[in-house]
Structure 1
Amino acid sequence: MGICHWPEGERPREKLIGLGPEALSDAELLAIFLRVGVKGRSAVDLARDLLNEFGGLRPLLGADQARFCQAHGLGIAKYVQLQAALELSRRHLETLLVRGDALTSPMLVKRFLSAHLRDLGHEVFAALFLDTQHRVLRFEKLFTGSLSSASVYPREVAKRALALHAGAVIFAHNHPSGVAEPSQADRDVTRHLSDALALLDIRVLDHFVIGEGEVVSFSERGWL
């Protein structure tokens, strides 16, 4: 039976309007994005099939073009729509963050950094440059590769901070393994960066390590 024949309170669109998006399951939200199902399967049925096939929502949203388009019921048009929706979400978070004080919005900072770094298949070291009032100036991905093997150059970070007239900085990098626990190399790099920037009167406020379902804060651990 098609979704249009379901009781109104059980239809994903009507449920979202009445109760808000947080009340919907992953499958129901995905069904709204898909809009239609396939022969013999409603949009919700198809959404459940896709979540099972990919192993959850995150692997589905992070799938590359080839893998995504191979799945039954998807294709290049859906891939383009999804990428546009994800980018809109990232830009929305950035807009919210730029409007406020990064220090008074720790959860927003975590959400913003997770949206940019969590699903990358390789390790990326990034920085959120702030002015002296801790308002966001710029977010930039600075280095690529494992912190234990690819160098993070304090001189280059300092040059960029000075060019942006930054008064403070928040660092972040992802762990593609999904495990957010910082390594000793992570702690060593943070200490070297903090020492170098302190000479320029630029504060390192935090360093976030982004995992699959967790974000570890150096500041909350008492390491900064």
Structure 2
Amino acid sequence: MVLKHLPAESLPREKLINRGSQALSDAELLAIFLRTGTKGMNVLQLADRLLAEFGSLRALFSASQHEFCQHKGLGLAKYVQLQAVLEMSQRYLSERLQRGDGLNSPQHTRHYLLAMLRDRHREAFYVLFLDNQNRVIADEIMFEGTIDAASVYPREVVKRALQHNAASVILAHNHPSGIAEPSQADRRITRRLADALSLVDIRILDHFVVGDGEVVSFAERGWI
């Protein structure tokens, strides 16, 4: 069916305007991003096909440039556009944290860390630097490693925390395996960081481990 022949209330753009983005399916949201279909296939049909081929929106969004561009209806222009959208989403979440909003909501902090770290193919160690009101001063990925480990240097974390005049920090890292359960090595490096930071009166408020859709908090486990 040609898209223009569908009832107006069924068109993704009109549905979003009238009912809000949360009312749309994954295929409808993807159709708005794609804008046009291909020969013999309207944009909704194309979106359905792409979701079937990739398996999910997340898999499509985390596909490499080569994987993305080899599918009919996609290409380099769409890949660039998608990367821009994803980066804007991460910056939006980061700005919410930097305004201090996010730390009033543990759930929002989890969403942000999932967006930042979940789909990385290598382990990354991330630090949020906070002032004495627990507002975010700065945030950055300080160390990156292999698919199952990242070397973390407490001296560098202390140095950066002092540069930001931080009163406390929140630590986070991902497990590319998708399993969020902290390892003994995770617990050891957290203790080393806590000991090093305590020498300059900086506290660790929490350490989050990000897996595939799950985030484990050291503070909630009673380990901090």
Shorter-normalised TM range: over 0.9
State the one-letter code of the partner of 2:74.
Answer: L
Asked if the contact 2:37/2:43 (under 8 Å) is kept, the reply is yes
Segments of 5+ residues of structure 1 without an aligned counterpart are none
Q: Give me the identity figure in percent.
A: 61
List, as ranges, runs of 4+ consecutive aligned residues in structure 1 with deviation greater than 2 Å. 146-151
Residue equivalent to 1:94? 94
Give the C-alpha shift of residue 101 in structure 1. Answer: 5.0
Give the C-alpha shift of residue 149 in structure 1. Answer: 4.9
SS at match of 2:195: helix
Asked if the contact 2:176/2:211 (under 8 Å) is kept, the reply is yes
Structure 2 distance, partners of 1:214, 1:163, is 32
State the one-letter code of the partner of 1:60.
Answer: L
Does 2:19 correspond to 1:32? no
SS at match of 2:139: strand
Residue equivalent to 1:65? 65
Give the C-alpha shift of residue 131 in structure 1. Answer: 1.1
Asked if the contact 1:147/1:186 (under 8 Å) is kept, the reply is no
Structure 2 distance, partners of 1:97, 1:150, is 25
Structure 1 distance, partners of 2:80, 2:215, is 28
Segments of 5+ residues of structure 2 without an aligned counterpart are none
Asked if the contact 1:16/1:23 (under 8 Å) is kept, the reply is yes
Residue equivalent to 2:177? 177
State the one-letter code of the partner of 1:127.
Answer: V
Does 2:205 correspond to 1:216? no
Residues 43 and 149 of structure 1: is their aligned pair in 2 closer, same or farther, counting only changes over 3 Å? Answer: closer
Structure 2 distance, partners of 1:147, 1:187, is 19
Residues 200 and 171 of structure 1: is their aligned pair in 2 closer, same or farther, counting only changes over 3 Å? Answer: same
Please report the TM-score for the alignment, with normalisation by the length of structure 2.
0.94
Residues 45 and 25 of structure 1: is their aligned pair in 2 closer, same or farther, counting only changes over 3 Å? Answer: same
Structure 1 distance, partners of 2:90, 2:30, is 18
Please report the TM-score for the alignment, with normalisation by the length of structure 1.
0.94
Residue equivalent to 2:158? 158
